[in-house]
Homo-oligomer: A and B are copies of this chain.
Amino acid sequence: MNEIKLRLFEPIFYPKSIAVIGASPNKTKAGYIWVRALVNAGYKGEIYPVSPNGGEILGLKIYPNLQSIPGQVDYVLVSIPRQFILSLLDECTAKGVKVVTFFTAGFRETGDKVWKQAEAAMLAKARKGGFRIIGPNCLGVYSPECKLPLIEGAVGTPGEIGFISQSGGIAAKLISLGISYGINYSKGVSFGNGIDLDAVDFLEYLGADPKTRVIGLYIEGVKDGHRFFTIIKEIAKVKPLVIWKGGRTEAGTVIAASHTGSLTSSSVAWSTAIKQAGAIEVYNLEEFVDTLLLFQQISFWRGNNIAIITGLCGAGGGAAVSAADTCAQFSLNLPPLSYETKTKLMRLLGPIGSILHNPLDITPTLGSPSVLEKVMEIVIADPNIDLILVQEDVELILPYVNNKKQFQQLNNVFLNFAHKQNKPIIIVLPPGSAESDRLKLLNKLRQGGIAVFPSIARAAKAIANVHRYYSRRYE
């Protein structure tokens, strides 16, 4: 069953050739931008621009129609006005294409009955012609393995996170934030009005896809609630599934209807069903990407006992107080450090300027890599602790270290411990006035496999979500 599904979706996520309908040499037209995006991304298959006006784009011949393309066409990307759609679909049938993605919008979401009926006609042609439709009113597929972009200029490293988004804009943000945060996607899709393939189909596919270990879903509404909740329950048993529901409020619901023509139901019903299914609900873009990032970095984690460390070079007291408040708010467990741990830390750091609780303010370390290494050793050895969360305020550290080398050595302590033992280490690097040093460090830590967040609050939410998933799955 799974193998059939994987084969069926092969031309969607690994198309060998793409025709862009509505291609244009005019650089301001979407049909030009789609071709340029494919070329610049280095898409690995054949690209066939199509337009009755002929000509050339970026050295590629523009074919007058699908029929005149010499080879097989797997994937058709449509960027022509809605009134020309139906006759195009006849051409698709004749050419034997596998999937048609509609960038073209202006259907059900306009609220106009005529264009809602057009969707039904499109679907009928797809069924008869033996091809599938993605959209209309969407940005289609993202497949980093074959360098197929969803928006121009953004193809990241292939990885294990799959996403499904009803909204093209949210899909684009997931990709672009993924690139800057180090979230590596196996594949992703935005399906807009979803008249044929929709969330349930893509969920079934990503659930079966061996390359996808974690799934993120942005959804505004579903056609068949029962089928939807059955599939998310099945998937959540084997893969972390993170769901962001757009249109949770009355105001959001009105906009969702105009966006993807979705009729949404009560947010309480949704939240209950998502929870019962064992999936994780998130409430905004930041929490969505933070949670996906942490699922990527921590593949299995059942603990719930966190130690927080602040004040690498002093001034960690306020950060410790607010970290404690924040973790309490998200019901994270900051257990007392063991008696042995406290005794060792007292001997190492002394009572002045340090807070030997949890959060632990290690101000007397004052930037010494060797003292920091001992602190980490002691805390990691504490049997009460499952995960270590460190807040580094780069602009407060830099005045206390003698040179960039010492700053690197401090951070190498975290990178080394991240690899030589099993308790996850997560780092919070809040923005400040030393942004270029901070961003360099952030990249280094991420490349070293450490999850980095901009605030304790965002880290805490992601940790709570990951913990909730694994504790439920293995309860």
Contact = CB atoms under 8 A, between A and B. Distances in A.
Interface of A: 27-28, 33, 37, 82, 105-106, 110, 112, 137, 139, 151-154, 165-173, 175-177, 179-180, 218, 220, 246-252, 254-256, 258-260, 283-286, 310-311, 314-322, 324-329, 334, 351-353, 355-357, 359, 361, 366, 393, 395-396, 398-400, 402, 430-435, 439, 455, 457
Given A259-B355, A325-B248, A395 B176 contact: yes
B325 A167 contact: no
B180 A247 contact: no
Contacts of A352: 82, 105-106, 110
A167 B249 contact: no
A433 B351 contact: no
Contacts of A455: 284-286
A70 B117 CA distance: 92
A322 B355 contact: no
Given A433-B179, A433-B180, A169 B311 contact: yes
Contacts of A351: 106, 110, 112
6 contacts: A27-B402, A28-B402, A168-B317, A176-B432, A249-B329, A255-B324
Contacts of A258: 317, 355-357, 361
Contacts of A316: 169
Contacts of A327: 251
A318 B430 contact: no
B431 A324 contact: no
B430 A285 contact: yes
A373 B324 CA distance: 47
Contacts of A154: 395, 433
A194 to B, nearest CB: 13
B252 A173 contact: no
Given A106-B351, A252-B325, 4 more contacts: A153-B399, A172-B315, A283-B325, A435-B439
Given A169-B316, A355-B255, A176 B399 contact: no
B249 A325 contact: yes
A255 B320 contact: yes
A44 B97 CA distance: 75
A105 B255 contact: no
B251 A334 contact: yes
A121 to B, nearest CB: 18
Among A179, A180, A396, chain B packs the most CB atoms within 10 A around the CB of A396
A310 B170 CA distance: 12
